[in-house]
Amino acid sequence: MISVFVAGACSSGSDGVASGSSRSTTVPSVTPTPSTTTTTQAPTTTPATLPPVVPPEGYELVWRDEFNEAGLNTSLWTVEHSTFGDGNNELHCYAPGNVNVSNNVLAISATDNQTTCPGNKRRDYASGMVHTRDTAAFRYAWFEVRAKVPAGQGLWPAIWLSPNNDAYGLWPRSGEIDLMELRGQNPTVARVNFHYADSNGGREQSPKDVEAEGEGFHEAFHTFALRWTETEITWFIDDVEVHSVSGWSSEVGPFPAPFDQRFFLRLNLAVGGNFPGPPDNSTSWPAVMEIDYVRVFQSFP
């Protein structure tokens, strides 16, 4: 049984989580990139075990994971094992043991267990992150993720996109797009956002906080989607458009830079950090972020 479908890759032509690394001060030359990069073998038909999907009008399904295998498909995802997030004062070690697939759901668990990460870095909390860097990266696509998040002081679940090659330099110069992030102490409000270097070199963003309709984001699964075209980025929650941006101006290059390169997916549950603050005695452990599916669609001429 497999849980990926990849088809029709395009040819050439067609505050959030940030690294604590130093920033780039020069603009590297940038060559055109294909709209899709994937190293996964593409089957000729959709496997019968996968549920049928109706793409958005004008789009085709090109990549998916329904998490219907016995474990995480590591040909699609890389499991982070580090203290990624130090630059945001996050408090966890991302550990492989905190990522699990069962009952057709990807579960990313945060615990208050002391954990040692590579480099002998000891942390009071452990959690998980998976990403698709160098296995699946896309330019101009429609992303859709169905997820349920945990509630609790100091928890920071996120679904986001990072540049595959940092073509314009380190964050924020090469950009970031957040499909969803939220503070666990306020789990009925999700934030959508994007980040880049403005015309003066400073960090620019466009955050929009969205109140859940009906059940909170911690009480039921909700669908978070992003439509990214050459001229506009639009966010949707449960099929309702909630935010849109266009016409941004960056010092790294002409519009639409830096959002003219391939970006990859990240799914993670951070503990602590500048955005939510630290956990406290009210935070329940383990805290679990659940992902039902991840799907990517693209539009072809």
DSSP labels, 246-273: E---BTTBSTTTTTTS-EEEEEEEEEB-
Residue 113 tokens, joined: 């267990």
- Whether 80 sits among the annotated catalytic residues: the reply is no
Count of domains forming the chain: 1
Decide if pLDDT at 300 tops 60.
Answer: yes
Establish if 42 belongs to a structural domain. yes
Grade residue 281 by pLDDT with cuts at 50, 70 and 90. very high
Q: Mean pLDDT in the chain?
A: 88
**Predicted local distance difference test score (pLDDT) of residue 19:** 32
pLDDT (average), residues 76-81: 98
Domain assignment present for residue 106? The answer is yes
Catalytic residue (one of 144, 181, 241, 290): 181
pLDDT of 291 > 60? The answer is: yes
Query: What CATH number does the domain containing 129 carry?
Result: 2.60.120.200
Predicted local distance difference test score (pLDDT) of residue 301 = 81
Torsion, CA 214, CA 215, CA 220, CA 222, rounded to 10: 40
Across 64-92, average pLDDT: 96
pLDDT the model gives residue 217: 98
Residue 20 included in any domain: no
| Amino acid letter for position 96 | P
Tell me: the pLDDT tens digits for 132-168?
999 999 999 999 999 999 999 999 999 999 999 999 9
Mean pLDDT of 272-294: 98
pLDDT at residue 48 above 50? no
Rounded CA separation 63/297 (Å)? 7
Could you tell me if residue 147 is inside a domain?
yes
Q: Judge whether 2 lies within some domain.
A: no
Residue 267 lies in a domain: yes
Confidence of residue 259 (pLDDT cuts 50, 70, 90): very high
Are 172 and 200 in contact, with CB atoms under 8 Å apart?
Answer: no
**pLDDT single digits (tens) 117-140:** 999 999 999 999 999 999 999 999
Marked catalytic residue, from 80, 90, 144, 176: 176
Nearest Cα residue to 81 out of 129, 48, 38: 129
Q: Is 181 a catalytic residue?
A: yes
Residues of the domain holding 183: 36-49+58-298
Q: How far apart are CA 64 and CA 236, in angstroms?
A: 18
Q: Rounded CA gap, 105 and 93, in Å?
A: 22
Residue 3 has pLDDT above 80, yes or no: no
**Is 11 contained in some domain?**
no
pLDDT at 294 over 90: yes
Phi, psi (degrees; rounded to nearest 5) at 87: -65, -20
Q: Is the peptide bond before 96 cis (omega within 30 degrees of 0)?
A: no
